[in-house]
């Protein structure tokens, strides 16, 4: 689950999930809460593979939350996967590098969760806060910044 804080008072929402099964297969899913007062027919980044969500067994599974247009302009979910696959970065390093790229390229606000092919799972964000939850070996852990 992803939710990010745009201000100190408001939490905006995306529901995202990343997973690695016992055979090593990776999967990602992202659903947005949407943006108020947008044009009819607007397609956000969640529906665009490579922008708001991406999974590939050669690299990682990623789900993003934030300002969709910024994720579309940076292909952020695919960028994270390329950091893992082509640069050999682990999940934590790739997540931080991708968020830095988002900030540097488009002054982006958002966050992401990632699980890599080696089962390392992490999160990164450039927003004032982000909530995530993780289940591992039947144990639920909730993290809020």
Q: CB within 8 A of 100, min separation 6: which ones? A: none
How far apart CA 97 and CA 7 sit, in angstroms, is 23
How far apart CA 69 and CA 116 sit, in angstroms, is 25
Q: CB within 8 A of 76, min separation 6: which ones? A: 51, 52, 62, 64, 70, 98, 101, 102, 108, 110, 112
Q: Pick the catalytic residue: 14, 65, 74, 79?
A: 14
Strands 53-55 and 60-66: antiparallel
**Residue 107, by phi and psi: left (phi above 0), alpha (psi -120 to 50) or beta?**
left
Say whether 14 is catalytic: yes
Indicate which residues carry an active-site annotation: 14
């Amino acid at each position: 689950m992803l939710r990010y804080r745009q201000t100190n008072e408001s939490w905006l929402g995306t529901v995202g999930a990343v997973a690695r099964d016992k055979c090593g297969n990776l999967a990602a899913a992202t659903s947005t809460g949407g943006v108020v007062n947008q044009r009819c027919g607007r397609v956000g980044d969640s529906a665009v593979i490579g922008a708001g969500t991406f999974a590939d067994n050669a690299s990682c599974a990623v789900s993003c939350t934030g300002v969709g247009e910024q994720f579309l302009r940076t292909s952020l979910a695919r960028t994270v996967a390329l950091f893992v696959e082509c640069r050999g970065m682990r999940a934590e390093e790739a997540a931080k590098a991708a968020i830095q790229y988002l900030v540097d390229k488009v002054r982006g606000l958002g966050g992401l969760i990632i699980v890599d092919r080696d089962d390392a799972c992490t999160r990164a964000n450039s927003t004032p806060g982000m909530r995530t939850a993780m289940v591992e070996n039947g144990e639920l852990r909730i993290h809020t910044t």
